[in-house]
Structures are given as structure tokens and as C-alpha cells.
């Protein structure tokens, strides 16, 4: 069972990746996208989105992070992938799934699913541009307006040389509304000819262990990507693997660690919003998170929030924060 942590622009960034991977169960992460337009980015642009590249492309707890590129120009994407490869990433992922209007209007993300031939040329160009030992993977939705070309896109990605494909079981038009059409992932898998079979990872509407089990059964996949479900329940990956759970008593130290990382990376006026954003998801799974959200709903001052979090940690003084691996101090926040 392989479990991947999804990229989610504006939510699942390096800060939350750091904290969530401390809970265990996640085998690999994919970063939020690095947008490629018409130039080769400097190293600092890759490092800003994926600071884990300074730590062997791993989070503090040792989970591999695969940077993701987004764009529509095969040659420019290839040149940037070659530059990125010099930073020793744990692979390079290509985004064919972002549903954001501004991204799609610039011919990026899910809109490319109307052009399977271009999708294939992008994958092939990136595959040729990076050393053979660097995996190249892709993430796609079922389509843009509809899912009629899902099989064509998957075939183009496989023919381009990708080593893995994540399929989010909704179209761009579906957004994030349930349901996820897991049966279509099964059909995409079955449509690939034998000589182009590659691992397919199922993604979409996996909030619980029961969801994960049904998704595996319907899709026939042996790997899953979890996103919002893991944000709402940091123990979801562990639970899916039958390795335990994360009770609320573990959350106060994690919330404090998250806050301290946010304080290093986010402007003062936006810090409270980031914490409340996570608490908003956590309250789906933990009643205590609703209490925390209510207590902090109108609070904006970072000093007040930090005192509140510290008090929460002291209340759980018998517990210790989940340990980071040795050498993790080298990873900048």
C-alpha cells in the first residue's frame, strides 16, 4: 500500500507537509505546483516552493517530496525540469489537473486535458530532459468540461514515458464537489495496453478508512493519494494502513509546531488565517477543534494565538511532540 500526500495550492504547502508527515503513514508527498511560463527559473524559485530540496528532497521526518511543475510549453518545461534535476529532487511531477480559473486561462493545469497530444509532448520532453534515474510522474483529472478524453490523456502520458499517474476522479467542471467517479479510474486503467501499463494512483473524496477501502476495490489500484482527508484527520494515512490513529491529545504540539513554522514563512497579518484554515478542516474529525476554532475565531494578534497554543500544549504536558529525524534541523522553515 503506497500512500501519497496531495498537493493543494494555498493549503498543503511545505509548512503543513512538514507537520502532517510527522504523524506517519505517508510514503511520499507532491509539492504544490511551480508555475513555468517562458523562462528558466532560478534555483531560489524551486527552493521557495520546495524547501525540502535543501534536505535531500525530504521533509524533516524523512518523507520524500516530489516537486510539481505546471505549464504548457514542452520546451520550456523541459529546460526547467533539467534545472530542477540539478537540485536532486525525489522525482518530477507534472500538473494536468489544477482547476483554478486563472491557471486554466493561461493554458495550464486541467485545460490541457482537451489536448492529449500536447500532454504527451510535455511528458516526453520532460522525460528526455532529465537523467534516467529521476522519476517523471503526472497528475490529471478526468477532463476539463467532461471526461470523454480521459483515456486519451492517460495513454498520452504513458506513451510520453511517465513512470506513474495520479488520477483525480473528477473533471475540472466538477471542482471538488462529491462524488468522485472512482469507476472511471478503473476504466482508464483498463484502457492502457499491456506494454504501456504504469502504476495508477487513485485520488478524490478519500476522507475515511472506509472510503479508502471502497476506492481501492472500485478502481483496482494499489496506491492512493489523500489530500483534504489527511488535513482533516492527520492520522488518516496510519489508519488506512491499519497502523493506529492520531488522537486529539497529539494535536496541540502539532498545532504549535505548525504555528511556529507559519510565523517564519507567512506575513504577520496572514498568520491567524492559516491556523484557522487548518482548524476548519480538523473540526470535521475532532470535536475539540471546533472548540479551538470558536476560541480563536475573532483573534488576530499572533502573540495571543501563541499563548493560547502554548497553554494547550501545557495541558497535554504528559505528551511529547512527535520527534523529527536527526539532521532535520538543516531544513529551513
- Residues annotated catalytic, as ranges: 98
Task: Reply yes or no on whether the pLDDT at 330 is more than 70.
Answer: no
Choose among 173, 4, 187, 168: nearest CA to 97: 168
C-alpha span between 208 and 284 (Å, rounded): 11
| 18-42 confidence digits (pLDDT tens) | 999 999 999 999 999 999 999 999 9
Q: How does pLDDT run across 155-167, given as a tens digit for each residue?
A: 999 999 999 999 9
Cell 488518516 locates to 236
Give the pLDDT band (50/70/90) at residue 317: low
Q: Between 3.60.20.10, 3.20.20.70, 3.40.50.2000, 1.20.1440.230, what CATH number should domain 2-240 receive?
A: 3.20.20.70
Statement: residue 85 has pLDDT above 70:
yes
What would the grid cell of residue 18 be?
512538514
Q: Are 173 and 114 in contact (CB under 8 A)?
A: no
Q: Is the pLDDT confidence value at 279 over 90? A: yes
Give the CB-side neighbour count of residue 55, counting CA atoms within 13 A. 23
- The CATH number assigned to the domain with range 248-326 reads 1.20.225.30
Q: Grid coordinates in use for 27? A: 510514503
As a whole number of angstroms, the longest Cα–Cα distance in the chain is 59
Domain segments of the chain: what residues? 2-240, 248-326
Is the pLDDT at 106 greater than 90? The verdict is no
Q: What is the value of pTM for the model shown?
A: 0.92
Amino acid at each position: 500500500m503506497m500512500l501519497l500526500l496531495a498537493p493543494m495550492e494555498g493549503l498543503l504547502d511545505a509548512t503543513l507537509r512538514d507537520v502532517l508527515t510527522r504523524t506517519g503513514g505517508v510514503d511520499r508527498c507532491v509539492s504544490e505546483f511551480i508555475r513555468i511560463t517562458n523562462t528558466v527559473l532560478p534555483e531560489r524559485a524551486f527552493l521557495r516552493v520546495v524547501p525540502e530540496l535543501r534536505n535531500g528532497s525530504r521533509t524533516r521526518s524523512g518523507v520524500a517530496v516530489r516537486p510539481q511543475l505546471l505549464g504548457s510549453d514542452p520546451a520550456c518545461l523541459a529546460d526547467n525540469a533539467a534545472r530542477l534535476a540539478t537540485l536532486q529532487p525525489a522525482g518530477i511531477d507534472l500538473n494536468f489537473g489544477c482547476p483554478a480559473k486563472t491557471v486554466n486561462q493561461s493554458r495550464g493545469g486541467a485545460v490541457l486535458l482537451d489536448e492529449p497530444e500536447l500532454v504527451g509532448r510535455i511528458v516526453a520532453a520532460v522525460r528526455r530532459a532529465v537523467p534516467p534515474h529521476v522519476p517523471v510522474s503526472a497528475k490529471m483529472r478526468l477532463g476539463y468540461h467532461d471526461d470523454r478524453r480521459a483515456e486519451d490523456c492517460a495513454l498520452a502520458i504513458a506513451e510520453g514515458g511517465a513512470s506513474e499517474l495520479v488520477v483525480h476522479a473528477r473533471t475540472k467542471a466538477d471542482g471538488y464537489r462529491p462524488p468522485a467517479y472512482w469507476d472511471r479510474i478503473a476504466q482508464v486503467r483498463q484502457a492502457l495496453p499491456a506494454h504501456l501499463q504504469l502504476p495508477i494512483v487513485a485520488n478524490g473524496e478519500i476522507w475515511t478508512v472506509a472510503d479508502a477501502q471502497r476506492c481501492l476495490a472500485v478502481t483496482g489500484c494499489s496506491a492512493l493519494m489523500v489530500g483534504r482527508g489527511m488535513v482533516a484527520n492527520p492520522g488518516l494515512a496510519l489508519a488506512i494502513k491499519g497502523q493506529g490513529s492520531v488522537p486529539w491529545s497529539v494535536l496541540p504540539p502539532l498545532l504549535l509546531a505548525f504555528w511556529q513554522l507559519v510565523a517564519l514563512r507567512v506575513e504577520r497579518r496572514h498568520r491567524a488565517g492559516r491556523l484557522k484554515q487548518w482548524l476548519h478542516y480538523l473540526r470535521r474529525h475532532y470535536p475539540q477543534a471546533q472548540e479551538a476554532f470558536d476560541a480563536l475565531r475573532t483573534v488576530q494578534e499572533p502573540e495571543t494565538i501563541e499563548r493560547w497554543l502554548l497553554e494547550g500544549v501545557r495541558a497535554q504536558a504528559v505528551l511529547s511532540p512527535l520527534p523529527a529525524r536527526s539532521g532535520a534541523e538543516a531544513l529551513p522553515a
